[in-house]
Structures are given as structure tokens and as C-alpha cells.
Amino acid sequence: MSDVQLALTNTAGISSVASFWAFAVSNASARFHGKLTKVGLAVLVIGFVALTGSIVMRGFESQRFPLSNLYESLLWFAWAVMGAYLFFSRSYDVKHLGWLASLTAATFFLYGSILPASQHDIKPLVPALVSYWRQIHVPPLIVSYAMFFLGGLAAFVQLWSAARLKSVLLAMAGLLAGMAAVALGTYTETNSFVLQGLFVGGSLLGIGTAWWQLGSFKATAGNKARADMYDEVVYRAIMIGFPLLTIGIITGGLWANAAWGSYWSWDPKESMALVTWLSYAAYIHLRIHHECSAEKLSLVAISGMVLTLLTYLGFNSLGFSGLHSYGRFKESGAFIQASPVVSYQNASDTLLS
């Protein structure tokens, strides 16, 4: 990675942190609310431009489309979250969402920055990735994940605007349990089943009790106009993300058919993408046919966000395997031991080199 690319990436990361603070303080301060919101937005624009430059430079340096490992996909994800927020801020008054969008971008920058150096280095592609399909299949998926994340964050603001604070806290706890499992799976050697239990159990418990809270207690007050607007933002984000996810899944099928002779092989990552697709298909059916309230729809959107997290990062960090292990960065001993060459591995090290 060149110094210029590093500087651009760092600028984007620092900008996301700065805009988070600007948006967060703007929500707390009535006096400086307007000015700080503008500052937050301006800093986010700077970060977005810097990150665009960083991704383009990485493409030039690697002489290929810069989306081939987990680190590069995290850069794309942060770029898409920032871009999507800026896009929505043109049509909607989404200043209450700014700190969450910036925090998400900053978190993913942090996650990417402490990955092993091998992830940051520009490396040659494995044979399976040497295809024009890579640039057709992967970007729609990453952008769709970002749209679903933004939709999920807007759903939190919708619930908060509708004075469903307990549901917000419980659903947030569920999401944080999922994120904690991903972080532990990435940076520690915690048992996979413990991590899977923490992710699934934590998020189910959090979102389940948040749902129960909606049914059991009436909201006392709330800003209906704002809640309605964020409900629409959730829907718009999903209606942009859903076609992109569909395109990503289908182009993945076309690529798999061109490379392996099968457009669907029930690979865990494929299956998880289908689960995410089905969850958003359920959301769209519920929304179009007015089958439940805006608050329940927000919880469905948050569930979709958790499934998106599981599909995108949980797959690599919670011990799943399959054909989509390009994002995996641990040189896992278990992976080598699963191979029949294990008994000859030591021999090759000591005898033949």
C-alpha cells in the first residue's frame, strides 16, 4: 500500500470519527444544532471523497479491480454507508441518523485497520477470482449490505422517534451481541459454537424481547412526523438494497455456473445470502400489504440488518466454511488438519525443503 493511499484511507477514517462527534453533539446541543449538523455533513463529504480516492488508487496500484479480500470489502462497505447517508440527506431531513451512519463507517474502518498486515497488502488473485465476474458480482452485494445497514440504523431512529425506547435498547443489545461475536471470532480463538451461540442467542433474545415490548406496552409520546419519515427512509433504503442483493445473488449464480458448472450449490455463504433475501422479501410483503405497524416493520428491518451482519462478516468469523472463503484471513490450523496432507506436512517441512 502506498503512502498516498494510506493517507487517504486515514483521512477517511478520521473524518468518519470527527463527523460522528459533530452529529452526536449536534443532537445534544439545541444551540449549535444547525451549525454542527452542517459541520458533520461537510466532514463526512471530505471522508467520502478521500475514501473514493483511496479505493481508486488501490485499483491503480494493484492493476485490478480493488475488491478481492475482506479489507478491501470493508473499505467499499464504509464508502457505501457514507455515500448512502449523503444520498438520503439530500432528500430527507436525516440529521438524527448522521451519528449512527458515521459511527458505523468508523467502526468498519477500525475493524479493517486492525486486520493482519497480509490483508492490507496487495496480493495476486487465486485462480477462481481471476474473472470479470468479480467486479459484476461483488460490488452490488457490498452496496446492498450497506443499504440494509443504513435501513436498520434508520429503523432504530424510527423506534426512538415513536418513543419505543425499551425496544430500541433491547434490539441494540441484540445487535451488539452479534457484533461482539464477530469481533471475538476475528481477533480471538474462541470456540466457534460459543460464538455462534452468542450471535444467534443474543440477537434472538434482544430482538424477540424488543418485539414483545412493542406488543405489551403502548407508546406514551413520540414525534409521529419524524417516525413516519424514518419509516419511509427504512423502506427506501431496503428498496434500493433489495434489487442490489438480488443482482448480486443472481450474478454470483451466473459466475458459479461459468466457473464450476453449477449456479447454486447450497454453499453456506450462498445460503446466508438467500436467508437475507428471504427476510427482506418478508419485509416488503408485510409493508406493501400493511400487515403490521411501522414499529414492527422497523424490528423486521433490524432483524434483516443482523442477518446481513451474519452473511457479510459472521460467515468468516463464526467458523462457517465453503466456497466463499476468500475473505478468510486466519491461517487456521484446523483448516490444514482437515486436509489429508496433514501427515505429510511435517515431513515436507523437515525433510524435503
Could you say which residues in the range 26-65 bind another protein, by CB under 8 A? none
**C-beta of residue 253 within 8 angstroms of C-beta of residue 263:** yes
* Minimum separation from the CB atom of position 295 to another protein (A): 17
**Is 204 among the residues that bind another protein (CB under 8 A)?**
no
**Cell numbers for 10:** 486515514
Number of residues that bind another protein (CB under 8 A): 66
Amino acid at 3: D
C-alpha–C-alpha distance, residues 14 and 94, integer Å? 22
As given in the structure block, the three cell numbers for residue 231 are 419509516
Amino acid of residue 330: K
Q: Which stretch binds another protein (CB under 8 A): 25-33, 55-63, 70-78, 130-138?
A: 130-138
259 near another protein, rule: CB under 8 A: yes
Interacting residues with another protein between 308 and 327 (CB under 8 A): 320-322
Question: Shortest Cβ distance from residue 73 to another protein (Å)?
Answer: 19
Among 30, 221, 289, 331, binds another protein (CB under 8 A): 289
CB of 49 or CB of 282, closer to another protein: 282
C-alpha cell at 143: 452496496
CA separation for the pair 263, 251 (Å, rounded): 9
263 lines the binding site for another protein (CB under 8 A): yes
Nearer to another protein, 20 or 95 (CB): 95
Residue list 74-113, contact with another protein (CB under 8 A): 91-92
Q: Is 351 in the site for another protein (CB under 8 A)?
A: yes
Q: Which is nearer to another protein, 6 or 291 (CB)?
A: 291
Q: Choose which of 35, 118, 285, 335 interacts with another protein (CB under 8 A).
A: 285
**Minimum distance of another protein from residue 49's CB (angstroms):** 26
Greatest Cα pair distance in the chain? 75
Q: Looking at 27, 173, 284, 296, which residue binds another protein (CB under 8 A)?
A: 284
Contact pick of 52, 62, 246, 325 for another protein (by CB under 8 A): 246
Residues 212-241 that bind another protein (CB under 8 A): 228-229, 232, 235-236, 239-240
Q: Which is nearer to another protein, 165 or 274 (CB)?
A: 274
Contact residues: another protein, CB under 8 A: 91-92, 124-128, 130-131, 133, 196, 228-229, 232, 235-236, 239-240, 242-243, 246-247, 250, 253-255, 257-263, 265-269, 271-272, 274-275, 278-279, 281-282, 284-286, 288-289, 291, 320-322, 338, 341, 344-345, 347-353
